Amino acid sequence: MPTTIPTLTDLHAHGAAQQPNYPDARAVEEVVAELRQRPPLVFAGEADELKARLADVAGGRAFLLQAGDCAETFGNVTAANIRNSLRVQLSMAVVLQYAAQVPVVKVGRIAGQYAKPRSNDLETRDGVTLPSYRGDAVNGLDFTPEARVHEPRRLLDVYNSSAATLNLVRAFVNGGFADLRTVHSWNSDFVRSSNVEEKYTQLSDEIERAMAFMVACGVSDDSLRRVGYWASHEALLMEYEHAMARIDSRTGNPYGTSGHLLWVGERTRQLDGAHVELLASLRNPIGIKMGPSTTPDDARALVERLDPNAEPGRLTVITRMGAGKVRDALPPLIEAVESTGRKVAWVCDPMHGNTYSTERGYKTRAFPVIWDEVDGFFDVHADLGTWPGGVHIELTGNNVTECVGGVHELDEADLATRYETACDPRLNREQGIELAFYLAERLRE
267 is in an annotated binding site: yes
Is residue 303 within 8 Å of 311, Cβ to Cβ? no
Please tell me the count of residues contacting ligand PEP according to CB under 6 A: 10
Phi then psi dihedrals of residue 327, to 5 deg: -70, -25
**Rounded to the nearest whole angstrom, what is the least distance from the CB of residue 119 to ligand PEP in the complex?**
9
The binder of ligand PEP chosen from 40, 117, 296, 324 (CB under 6 A): 117
Cα 44 → chain centroid: 19
128-131 and 230-234 beta bridge pairing: unpaired
| Mask for 29-68, x = binds Mn ion (CB under 5 A) | ----------------------------------------
If one asks whether residue 136 binds ligand PEP (CB under 6 A), the answer comes out as no
Strand, coil or helix: 233:
strand
Percentages helix, strand, coil for the chain (3-state, rounded to 5) are: 45, 15, 40
The binder of Mn ion chosen from 136, 277, 372, 424 (CB under 5 A): 424
Whole-angstrom distance, CA of residue 235 vs CA of residue 247: 18
Q: Where are the alpha helices (DSSP H) in 42-151?
A: 44-58, 79-100
Contact region with ligand PEP (CB under 6 A), list: 9-17, 142-150, 261-269, 380-388: 261-269
| Mask for 67-106, x = binds Mn ion (CB under 5 A) | ---x------------------------------------
How many C-beta atoms surround the C-beta of residue 359 within 10 A?
A: 6
Give me the helix-helix angle, 154-174 and 25-37, nearest 10°.
30
**Rounded to the nearest whole angstrom, what is the least distance from the CB of residue 394 to Mn ion in the complex?**
5
- By C-beta, is 56 or 424 nearer to Mn ion? 424
If one asks whether residue 352 binds ligand PEP (CB under 6 A), the answer comes out as yes
**Residue among 95, 195, 201, 194 nearest 439 (CA):** 95
Is residue 275 within 8 Å of 282, Cβ to Cβ? no
The binder of ligand PEP chosen from 16, 57, 70, 92 (CB under 6 A): 70
If one asks whether residue 402 binds Mn ion (CB under 5 A), the answer comes out as no
Is residue 162 within 8 Å of 82, Cβ to Cβ? no
The binder of ligand PEP chosen from 51, 134, 289, 342 (CB under 6 A): 289
- 289 contact choice in ligand PEP, Mn ion, none (CB below 5 to 8 Å, kind-dependent): ligand PEP
181 is in an annotated binding site: no
122-125 and 230-234 beta bridge pairing: unpaired
**Rounded to the nearest whole angstrom, what is the least distance from the CB of residue 289 to ligand PEP in the complex?**
4
Feature table: binding site for Mn(2+): 70, 352, 394, 424
Contacting residues toward ligand PEP, per CB under 6 A = 70, 117, 234, 265-267, 289, 320, 352, 424
Sites of contact with Mn ion (CB under 5 A) = 70, 424
